[in-house]
Amino acid sequence: MIVAGIDDISIYSPGFFYPLEDLARRHGVDPAKYIVGIGQERMAVPTPDEDIVSMAANAVAPLLVNEVREEISTVIFATESGIDQSKSAGLFVHGVLGLNPNCRVVEFKQACYSATAGIQLASDLVRQRPKEKVLVIASDIARYERNSEGECTQGAGAVAMIVAANPRLLEIHPQSGVFSFDVMDFWRPNHREAAYVNGKLSIDVYLRSLTEAWLDFQRKDGLPLTSIDKLCFHQPFTKMSKKAFGALREAAGAEADHLDEKSYAESQIYGRQIGNTYSASLYIGLSSLLDNCDEDLTGRSVGLFSYGSGSVGEFFSVSVVEGYRRRLRSHAHRALLARRREIDYETYVAWFYTSVKSTEDRISPMQTTGRYRFAAIAEQRRIYAEVDCARLGSLNAVA
């Protein structure tokens, strides 16, 4: 069988953040409720000239080296923050980055789960046609009503991955366990910018989905937990990993005795600084695990659980490939987060709650620190552009 998996991975998050400590004070609660209780420290805040497309383009750009650009045969864009009811967000990315025209481009949607559907399809495509590469992108802005319980989990970010034969980072195992059922724990009708969410129900459904997907994984001859060394869970907030680990230990019994909280701790590092990124969350967590784990993970297996409200859950596993550290973008990812600038409450509100989708023609002021930006709406058409390199350099120097 052709071995397929993740050959490269890159993340992007906006260059500005709002501290959860300040939001807690605004809400009249102890900051520990957010920083310790849900495990969030900072919220990534997109500028008015950033959206899922510009964030995606910024995540993809570092991957387009050597022969990769011409070998991409398929682009899969996963998001629940869609910008058009017909045209794939991936086509905007395809255009602004000048990707290979002999390429199929689609958009996937199923809450926070859809990037995993993209990864699984990409793996199957590569096993059929091993000379081709598939670009899988997940990009989202997690937005809730002001002063709601979900506001403290907001965030924004994107992840881009190249799925290829004989991967140099992670081999994706063909077995996976899945579980789906129709439930209204979280949803966002077409007319709304912010989602409706039943927080308690959503957590309960998440944990049930994890248990059922794990049991299905075992029925399908997936790895026993004794053969899994690290774990990575979907993180709507980073403390959810602790709840997920507890549910998995209960389902797996004695097989989980060799695992503890250290088995997933590194996967939480980036999420604490970014916030929820919906479809990108699991894979930003995976990148965090690879970038920040001091142990040599060569040949070791990682169990991953992907969840999307509504709901779909999937448990699958990957193996870390020899030489993986040479392929990591750890320095770039850490630098991306380190150079961000803090914004005040008024700026946060203006950017997160008044700079939302508009049908009016307008030019977006230049505020992003990213290489690609959402430049304008003209005659109902969204326009994206590459930032002048000299201007971008001066902005990042200040940051």
Let me know: does 8 contact 333? Beta carbons within 8 Å. no
Q: Which of 41, 50, 80, 314 is catalytic?
A: 80
Residue 112 falls in the annotated catalytic set: yes
SS (H, E, C) the chain: CCCEEEEEEEEECCCEEEEHHHHHHHHCCCCHHHHHHCCCCEEECCCCCCCHHHHHHHHHHHHCCCCHHHHEEEEEEECCCCCCCCCCHHHHHHHHHCCCCCCEEEEECECECHHHHHHHHHHHHHHHCCCCEEEEEEEEEECCCCCCCCHHHCEEEEEEEEEEECCCCEEEEEEEEEEECCCCCEECCCCCCCCEECHHHHHHHHHHHHHHHHHHHHHCCCCCHHHCCEEEECCCCCCHHHHHHHHHHHHHHHHHCCCCHHHCHHHHHHHHHHCCCHHHHHHHHHHHHHHHCCCCCCCCEEEEEEEECCCEEEEEEEEECCCHHHHCCHHHHHHHHHCCEECCHHHHHHHHHHCCCCCCCEECCCCCCCCEEEEEEECCEEEEEECCHHHHHHHHHHC
Q: Which of 234, 293, 314, 333 is catalytic?
A: 234
Residue 94 falls in the annotated catalytic set: no
Contacts of 143 (CB under 8 A, 6+ apart): 81, 154, 193, 194, 195, 352, 356
Residue 173 falls in the annotated catalytic set: no
Q: Which of 41, 112, 266, 333 is catalytic?
A: 112
Nearest CA-CA partner of 281 in 137, 112, 149, 154: 112
Give one word for 156, left, alpha or beta, with left for phi > 0 and alpha for psi -120 to 50: beta
Enzyme catalytic residues? 80, 112, 234
